[in-house]
Every structure is written in structure tokens, then in C-alpha cells.
Amino acid sequence: MLPIHRQRPISGLTFWAGALALAGTLTGCAEAVPQDVIEAVESIDRDLMQLRAAEIAPNDYSSFAHQWVTLRTRVEAEADLIRWPWEPNDLELALRHLRDEGSRTVAKLAEQQATLRRAAEHRLAHVEERAKLITAHVSAIDSRLVLGAKPVETDLLMKQARAFYGQGRYEQSLEASDRAARNLAVQATLLNRELGRYASRDRIIQWQQMAQDTVEWSRTHHAPAIVVSKADRTLTLYKNGRQVLSYPVRLGFNGIREKRYQGDGATPEGRYRITGKRGQGQTQYYRALVLDYPNQEDRRRFVHERKTGHIPALRGIGGQIEIHGVENELMAQTLGCVMLDNPHMAHLFERVDKGTPVTIVGALHEQNSVALALAHLAVRGDET
């Protein structure tokens, strides 16, 4: 016979003993805890584990686990006990309470996870879209090198965010996306710092003045003069102060920046003159017009920047800046010069002489491609 949970005083009368035994037989004796309640709590525990409750809501899971372990210990200890059906069963009540509490925790965590998942998805999509936009603008204005390692760092963070998202680690995904977003903001800042002069009204007025002076020189001297606009990627030839031709050009691999030292791939800005003409056989680039870079102003700026530590001590100022043709269309890029297609170069070569002024400016109007790209990135940045 199974032991009963608690001994109850009963009368010694056979009648009452028989009555009690009959009642027990008729109503049936209760288990310590119904199995379905235990299975329900076990199922909740599995759900919580699947939701990684111990990681994402450690306090909630800890509270559940403490109660569950305590109650399970009691369940095991009282497994062999039976109760009278009318006896209060605090263990069962505690388990039912834990089941209900656990169910609420599962529902709450599932909702939290769903919210986190949506937030991570939205954030990642937003960052990826912003990265695409910056990449497109950077590519359009040939300024990828301005950003150094930042694009790769951002790309890695986005890949990490995508991987964490796939693993269901939404908090880590959000964190990686946030870091990528901050990295993109740094990219926008870098672009503004390096290329902000293209959006500077004062600087553009200065460049416009330089171009006007060159055109005026052409008019007063009845001679050719060249103006190159880096933002527009155009070379314009003037004769007697009138525009004769305008050709598209390609710049150095880092041409959008202001030239500072040898090997930086930037195309210089300033007032230059043609100091030499190299025909076929004298240059590897079809035909070339040699400029007097570095001029006095370039040297003065170089010395100042080196003194202030903005240029590495071992760097030289560079030279041999030319307007030239294309050596090989498949390798159509220059190191810091101004490059034209060969037919255009042939036309230009015939129309200029040694001493012809060449003015290279950043931009000639406020709505230039670089300024527009920076403005667009700033507006879209504000939207974030």
C-alpha cells in the first residue's frame, strides 16, 4: 500500500474506517502533482531555452529556473506520495503558478524577440541602403580614396550584422549595424572635410575669378588659354577670349583632391603655363603638354604644410604634370595629370604653344557634381 501524505486521526470504529476506505476507492486517490502540469512546465522551459532566455532576459530566466529547480526537487521527493482528493496541494498550486508565469515570460520574450528582429532588419536595411548611396556618390565623383579604410570597415560591419541577424542574435546585429551607421557618418564627414571646398561659395568665387582672368588674358593677348574644371571633368580652350572647344578629361587616380605631394594621385589646382610640347615619339602618352608645376605658389604651400606636419617629411612636391593623351585605352588612367582622348589631344596640341596659360580649378559653379553629392549625402544623413 502506498504511503499517504499525512496521517489523519481516524476513529477506531470499524464503520468509519470502512466508510473512509470506500470513499477513497470511489473517489480515487490523487497523485502529488498531475503529470500534465509538470510536462507543461518542462515545455515552457524548452521554449525559454529556444528563445535564449538565459542570454536575452537573464533575470527572467533565472527567476523561472530557480523556481523550477526548487519545485522539481519537491516533485521528485514527493513522487511516491498520494493525497486525499480534498487535501490542499500547495506543490501543484506552485507548479501551476510557475506554468502561468512561465507562459507569460515566453509570450513576452517572443514579442521582444520579434520586435528586436524587426528593429535589426530595419536598421540593417537602412544602413545597407545608405552605404549604397554613399558608394554611388563616391564613385560618381571619383573620391573613393578620400575615405581610406572606412568603406571596408563599414562593409565588414554590415556583413557581421547580416551574419548575426541570420543566427537570430538580433542585439548583436543591431550593435554591428549601429557601428556601421557611425562609420558611414564618419565617411560623410571625411568627404565634407576633404571636398567641402567644392561647396564653398568663397572658394568657387575665387576659382571663377581665376578662370575669368585666364579668359581675359586670352582676349587681351589674342592668344589661346586653357581652363580645366576638375568637378566638371572638362578642358576648355579659349582664343581671343572666346571658347573654341571643350573636351571631357580624366584626372589623376585621386584627382578630385588638391595636390599636396608626390605620388598622392591628385591633380593640382592653380595658374600654370605650358613649358614644353612633346609630340609622338617624345612621350609615351601620344602627345603631351608639359606644365610648370610646381609653381611658386605650389612650393610656398608645400613648404608651409610640411612645416606644420601636414605632409610627411620624406615626401617630395612631385612634378611632370602634363596634359596628355592616352597610352593604352585599357589602362586609361593618369597619376595626377589631365588626360584627353587622343583625337581631342591632337586637336588641342595643334592649337596651343609654349607659354599658353593653363588654369586648373576645382569647380566653376556652385551646383557642381561634388557639391551636389555632398548636399545629397547631408540631406539623407539628416533623415537618419
Residue 316 per-residue DSSP state = -
C-alpha cell at 143: 573620391
SS3 sequence, 321-377?
Answer: CEEECCCCHHHCCECCCEECCHHHHHHHHHHCCCCCEEEEECCCCCCCHHHHHHHHH
- For other proteins, the binding residue among 10, 19, 49, 303 (CB under 8 A) is 49
Question: How many Å apart are CA 152 and CA 164, to the nearest integer?
Answer: 18
- For other proteins, the binding residue among 325, 336, 357, 362 (CB under 8 A) is 336
Task: State yes or no: residue 62 binds other proteins (CB under 8 A).
Answer: yes
- For other proteins, the binding residue among 82, 184, 335, 360 (CB under 8 A) is 335
56: which residues sit within 8 A by CB, 6+ positions away?
Answer: 109, 112, 113, 171
Task: State yes or no: residue 110 binds other proteins (CB under 8 A).
Answer: no
- For other proteins, the binding residue among 319, 343, 353, 367 (CB under 8 A) is 319
Beta bridge partners of 187: none
Question: How many Å apart are CA 271 and CA 321, to the nearest integer?
Answer: 13
Nearer to other proteins, 48 or 227 (CB): 48
- For other proteins, the binding residue among 119, 253, 305, 346 (CB under 8 A) is 253
- For other proteins, the binding residue among 16, 27, 39, 58 (CB under 8 A) is 58
Beta bridge partners of 270: 360
The span of 15-23, 117-125, 326-334, 363-371 binding other proteins (CB under 8 A) equals 326-334
CB atoms within 10 A of CB 335: 20
Do residues 138 and 184 lie in contact, with contact meaning Cβ atoms separated by under 8 Å?
no
Tell me how far, at minimum, the Cβ of 313 lies from other proteins, in Å.
18
Nearer to other proteins, 224 or 270 (CB): 270
Task: State yes or no: residue 172 binds other proteins (CB under 8 A).
Answer: yes
Do residues 368 and 220 lie in contact, with contact meaning Cβ atoms separated by under 8 Å?
no
Phi, psi torsion values for 272, nearest 5 degrees: -125, 175
Task: State yes or no: residue 79 binds other proteins (CB under 8 A).
Answer: no
Tell me how far, at minimum, the Cβ of 326 lies from other proteins, in Å.
9
Widest Cα–Cα separation across the chain: 140
Q: What is the footprint of other proteins within residues 276-315 (CB under 8 A)?
A: 284
Nearer to other proteins, 176 or 363 (CB): 176
Q: Using alpha carbons only, what angle is made at residue 322 by residues 318 and 327, rounded to the nearest 5 degrees?
A: 110
Task: State yes or no: residue 181 binds other proteins (CB under 8 A).
Answer: no
N-term to C-term CA, the chain: 74
Question: How many Å apart are CA 143 and CA 257, to the nearest integer?
Answer: 8
3-state SS assignment for residue 270: strand
- For other proteins, the binding residue among 89, 123, 164, 224 (CB under 8 A) is 164
Tell me how far, at minimum, the Cβ of 73 lies from other proteins, in Å.
5
Tell me how far, at minimum, the Cβ of 348 lies from other proteins, in Å.
20
Tell me how far, at minimum, the Cβ of 127 lies from other proteins, in Å.
14
Task: State yes or no: residue 48 binds other proteins (CB under 8 A).
Answer: yes
The residue count of the chain comes to 384
Question: How many Å apart are CA 378 and CA 185, to the nearest integer?
Answer: 10
Nearer to other proteins, 84 or 253 (CB): 253
Residue 227 per-residue DSSP state = E
Q: What is the footprint of other proteins within residues 8-27 (CB under 8 A)?
A: none
Tell me how far, at minimum, the Cβ of 350 lies from other proteins, in Å.
24
Question: How many Å apart are CA 232 and CA 256, to the nearest integer?
Answer: 10
Task: State yes or no: residue 228 binds other proteins (CB under 8 A).
Answer: no
Count interface residues toward other proteins (CB under 8 A): 55
Nearer to other proteins, 277 or 351 (CB): 277
Task: State yes or no: residue 168 binds other proteins (CB under 8 A).
Answer: no
> Which residues here bind other proteins, judged by CB under 8 A?
48-49, 52-55, 58, 61-62, 65-70, 73, 77, 142, 144-145, 148-149, 151-153, 155-157, 159-160, 163-164, 172, 252-254, 262-263, 265, 284, 316, 318-321, 327-328, 330-337
